[in-house]
Chains A and B, each alone.
Chain A
């Protein structure tokens, strides 16, 4: 009964979305306030209906209602409650319901907080948002009904893939979707602006918080996924350039570019068509991610519910959305007025370079990911592109970008002073050389990779800190004055510094781990030991136990350093009988400087167990760096200027917003 209610609510949401995508659009064209005002209640009602549907599906999972096919295929009565709830999005149908729920949530947010948007823009944005909703709710109802019944109901379900029964992964998809779907807001604003034929700084001011929120969530989502791969898959790495990892990384790169180009539109009223195009591309890449995972055109560990029919449907949606937006772009963008002019050496110039490099990076990943597909379709020749290509092609594009991240913020708008900026970056240069020299002294043999990597990270960190210190005139005025200046800085300035610092921290971790990782594999019996990076690990014993829905073998490895006990590592090997699948649970001893990582493989009392140990220097910095980037995004998002819920204060804050608000 409840499942049918959910199904009905979803159908109702489709009807509401159809109204939301047509009537306000017509109203905006006719300048009819009543028709336009329909957009907000429609968006709210659509959200409510999808929430009911989502709740109904969750109810099915939590109560283990195996008469619902989707629940029977993906859940099990013994599964812990957390994974019953997260199991909703651990499969194709449920994840699509989450997808539209988040889409509707963003629409609802515009309806609820968009008081200060011009009525016609708001109506058009919500209409475009409604169209995307129609496409995807229709997709669910036509090809992937999550509420399909299974009669007779089985006694128990088939369980969720045990690799996915993990707290890190439980929250990876929702974060990722918040990012993917969040870019739909930038897309809707871009299309609405194209329909209106007008882009101004006020427009950029509305787009930025949505883009920033999506970017922050996507950063967190990708980092969570990579962290999960690191500790759950039990092979010591954190990024594999897998097609689906790339599918989430491409919108991230494009979204990062969009975030920066929107600043230029806001502050200088320039780069308008480019920003619109980026918004369309970013959401297009998000849709492509959704398409690649579900169509089976690329083989990947993430591919689920592969079905050509569904693939074709999503491809059709993508073509309609992105193709339609690009047609609109080709028609309207040329007539957009050019904004403020600027010299090549200027803040704008720096941001253009940033966009150029990020676009090249996106294109590199795009080509590397899809090259096998293109080549196969064109010549029938089969190739596979592995990590070597990406490392060789991607890193050189990122290096000038990292150099630039330190310089760009030092340049003035319109016309910058490059020698002046470089002169002020002497602290960054010193930090860069110091980092390189320190790394040089650490290494026994001279390897240039890490030296260069740390020099870049030092430069970036030094540059970011210098820029921030200059803004608060640190050490040039009394500390108390500096502190009050820091308090007076806009939060977005702190956010930028944090995000750039996060990148520097990330680079340290990535460089150290790629060049200095050590790995030992042994076959050990209880009592035997293995040494790595100055640690001595002794296999004490293996214990067998029974978990809620799995059996487990746990190894107890006592770790000593120079004879002194450090810790005990307990890597596990689990076996999930319902899915007939073993998983490894790695044990990690993490200090801030390195991870000692142990995993066990197959084994028995007679032949011993395969014990695999890694020493991963600075690997925690990878996720600390991402976390700092996320915090930077959140801090920047809390900036009063961007806060969507504070329209009154904003109206009095700047004349631009007022003028636009009166429009």
Chain B
């Protein structure tokens, strides 16, 4: 029995190591993982507005044009890293950018946007993170490309870099726009 106690650390460690290995071995690196939601309609919940001056997100607002939907939170470090780029995207009018504020205190999120700038055309609030689960969000930040029919077409995990945006996201947006 006491002998077993000495083997226990080894068993626990091997268990943890297996969990570490699983996502890599299955090729399930979160950055390359295509979402299970690809080509499915974006979740249809209505998201209340974050602030009174800007509309929230409802299912109708996600159709008609190709859009980027960015999940962000004021407590999230990587969101801050990608924010300057979002500001540029917002200013460039290349593609409409919607924001979903994830598990955040509304006051903190509004302050955050006041300090760093607000790149979003619409901002929906997902206070308890339920809608994010429907979208398949792994952790903030994540950015989705939604086509004209309101279907999710691409998912980017982690902070968006300039290369990601210009070399991956924009071509997808162009293609979807042309596709009608």
Contact = CB atoms under 8 A, between A and B. Distances in A.
* A-B complex is real: yes
Given A299-B138, A299-B139, A299-B158, A386 B103 contact: yes
Given A297-B24, A612-B115, 8 more contacts: A240-B77, A297-B20, A297-B29, A300-B78, A301-B159, A330-B7, A373-B20, A519-B111
A169 interface: no
Given A284-B13, A322-B13, A610-B115, A315 B21 contact: yes
B87 interface: yes
A582 B30 CA distance: 27
Nearest to A237: B75
Interface of A: 163, 233, 235, 240, 242, 273, 277, 280-281, 284, 291, 295-301, 303, 306, 308, 311-312, 315, 318-319, 322-323, 326-327, 329-330, 333-334, 370, 372-374, 376-377, 381-384, 386-387, 519, 521, 523, 580-582, 599, 601-602, 610, 612
B64 interface: no
A288 to B, nearest CB: 8
Contacts of A382: 132-133, 136-139
A308 B29 contact: yes
A163 B81 CA distance: 10
Contacts of A521: 111, 114-115
Interface in B26-49: 27, 29-31
Contact of A370 (B13, B14, B19): B19
Contacts of B116: 601-602, 610
Contacts of B117: 601-602, 610
A306 B157 CA distance: 13
A229 to B, nearest CB: 8
A370 to B, nearest CB: 7
B179 to A, nearest CB: 29
A374 B12 CA distance: 13
A572 to B, nearest CB: 15
Contacts, number: 131
A273 B9 CA distance: 12
Interface in B122-180: 129, 132-133, 136-140, 157-159, 162
Nearest to B133: A382
A298 to B, nearest CB: 8
Contact of A329 (B9, B16, B159): B9
Given A301-B81, A308-B29, A334-B3, A384 B140 contact: yes
B111 A308 contact: no
Nearest to B8: A330
Contact of A311 (B24, B114, B140): B24
Contact of A315 (B20, B78, B133): B20
Contact of A377 (B19, B87, B137, B139): B19
B53 interface: no
B22 interface: yes
Q: For chain B, give the interface size range.
A: 35 or more
Given A281-B9, A373-B19, A382-B136, A301 B77 contact: yes
22 contacts: A233-B77, A280-B9, A296-B31, A299-B30, A300-B77, A306-B29, A311-B24, A311-B29, A315-B20, A323-B14, A326-B10, A326-B13, A327-B10, A330-B6, A373-B23, A377-B19, A519-B111, A523-B114, A580-B162, A599-B115, A602-B116, A612-B115
A237 to B, nearest CB: 9
A439 B6 CA distance: 48
A299 B78 CA distance: 8
A323 B9 CA distance: 9
A612 B113 CA distance: 11
B129 A384 contact: yes
B84 interface: yes
Contacts of A370: 16, 19
Contact of A277 (B9, B16, B24, B30): B9
B23 A377 contact: yes
Contacts of A297: 20, 23-24, 29-30
Interface of B: 2-3, 6-7, 9-10, 13-14, 16-17, 19-25, 27, 29-31, 73, 75, 77-78, 80-81, 84, 87, 103, 111, 114-117, 129, 132-133, 136-140, 157-159, 162
Contacts of A281: 9
Contact of B24 (A303, A308, A327, A580): A308
A329 B6 contact: yes
A322 B14 CA distance: 9
Given A299-B138, A312-B25, A334 B80 contact: no
Contact of B20 (A240, A291, A599): A291
Nearest to A284: B13
A242 B76 CA distance: 8
A592 to B, nearest CB: 27
A281 B13 CA distance: 9
Nearest to B12: A326
A115 to B, nearest CB: 34
Contacts of B9: 277, 280-281, 326, 329-330
A146 to B, nearest CB: 22
Contacts of B80: 233, 235, 301
Contact of B139 (A308, A384, A580, A612): A384
Nearest to A243: B139
Contacts of B6: 273, 329-330, 333-334
Contacts of A334: 2-3, 6
Contacts of B30: 296-297, 299
B10 A295 contact: no
A242 B87 CA distance: 24
Nearest to A387: B75
A296 B87 contact: no
B24 A295 contact: yes
A599 B159 CA distance: 23
A521 B10 CA distance: 52
Contact of B21 (A312, A372, A381): A312
Contacts of A295: 20, 24
Contacts of A610: 114-117
A231 B67 CA distance: 35
Q: Which of B29, B103, B117, B137 is the most central at the interface, judged by chain A CB atoms within 10 Å of its CB? A: B29
